[in-house]
Amino acid sequence: MELSVGAFVLYTVSLFSLICFTHGANFYQDVDITWGDGRGKILENGNLISLSLDSSSGSGFKSKKEYLFAKVDMQIKLVPGNSAGTVTTFYLRSMQPKHDEIDFEFLGNVSGSPYTLHTNLFTQAVGNREMQFNLWFDPTRDFHNYTILWSAHHVIILVDGIPIRDFKNNEKKGVLFPTFQPLRMYASLWNGDSWATQGGRVKTDWSKAPFVAMYRNYKVDTCNWSGGKPNCHQKPWWNYEVTGNRYKQMRWIQRKFMIYNYCDDAKRFPQGLPLECKLR
């Protein structure tokens, strides 16, 4: 039985209220501001990061540590107003030439239009796995929680605790999956007006600069190590599955708010859709 819209919204609000009252780590201890010439700032005794973008530069930070499998949360308040051309990011990436990467990218828009959430996954430098969503709330009015759950079984993308994407490990069937490269967390705010808003047709309005995005409650639950291997089996997220009501919620979001799915874009793949699209 499909969830009603009212029941779904009530569930989302109650779940998010619980998330909001948890506390994250201290940014002074856990991240480095890596670029921006002072445009990235750690504030409120290490509990908040402000990233800004102007016509000269954006800004960004990264985690001090790398992780091999983890549940990673970040609360973000996106650029308000006319954010066209701006790209706010939160992602995991390895540093190897054939890198793995799991992306949240928030593509700004003109005032009154919804943000686009752009998700992608790279394995051994092979990407082209984009799924895009219109956010069903205003991400500029308050902080919302964005989660990457990366286990040996799945990469699951969640928004306010609601799964919106589930990329399964089908390595045994020939689909590449990130299993052996440690990943580091990155976040940034930069100018992407060559492509970010309506395919680059709408440019950044620099008279509205500086553009500012805020980050807080960065939380990482990663595996313990034993004998040189990650020991994850006691972590509650390790066996997280998108089944039952979770699956219904994900499909509801995808039906209502997904605006692009690479698995539906046959024209883009004239030699045939990627293998994982055929295993859904």
SS (H, E, C) 39-76: CEEEEHHHCEEEEEECCCCCEEEEEEEEECCEEEEEEE
Per-residue pLDDT, 27 = 97
Q: Rounded CA gap, 167 and 66, in Å?
A: 21
Residues in contact with 82: Cβ distance below 8 Å, sequence separation at least 6, in sequence order: 108, 110, 111, 205, 208
Per-residue pLDDT, 24 = 54
Largest alpha-carbon pair distance within the chain? 56
Q: In the annotation, is 105 catalytic?
A: yes
Q: Rounded CA gap, 260 and 256, in Å?
A: 12
* Global pTM value: 0.89
Residues in the chain, pLDDT under 70 = 1-24
Per-residue pLDDT, 201 = 78
Q: Rounded CA gap, 216 and 176, in Å?
A: 32
Per-residue pLDDT, 21 = 34
Query: First CA to last CA across the chain, in angstroms?
Result: 21
Q: In the annotation, is 101 catalytic?
A: yes
Chain center to CA of 218: 13
- Catalytic entry in 2, 44, 66, 101: 101
Per-residue pLDDT, 197 = 78
- Catalytic entry in 2, 66, 105, 171: 105
